[in-house]
Amino acid sequence: MKVGKRLPEGIPFKQTGAKIPSYCCCYLIALSEPLGNENHQARYYLGSCANLNKRFQQHLQGTGAAFTRAAVERGIQFEIIHVWKTSSKQDARQLEIQLKRLDAPYD
């Protein structure tokens, strides 16, 4: 999946009552409040995985990425807000890299 200047089509995702899928994807997590210090703050986490359900459970338990671990430690809630399904973990990782190169694609 090639990314231009705009976000590719994906699946807007609201967790409320929804079962988290177990497929390869790139995903976007939004925090309920900014995380960081006076010099740098972030509200979003972009990741990729082979099984979103398993990976999100790791984030919730504080055993996932350092960013979501810090959010858990500070009591900041977060949720998945967008999912881009891919055919493989490698494709998901490539999409994550491309999306991170975009200028502020989530705001």
What is the largest distance, in Å, between two alpha-carbon atoms of the chain? 39
Q: Are 66 and 47 in contact (CB under 8 A)?
A: no
Provide long-range contacts, Cβ within 8 A and 24+ apart, for 42-45.
Answer: 42/67, 44/106, 45/78
- Residue pLDDT, tens place only, 62-105: 999 999 999 999 999 999 999 999 999 999 999 999 999 886 55
Q: Are 48 and 27 in contact (CB under 8 A)?
A: yes
Q: Are 68 and 78 in contact (CB under 8 A)?
A: yes
- Residue pLDDT, tens place only, 9-26: 666 666 555 678 899 999
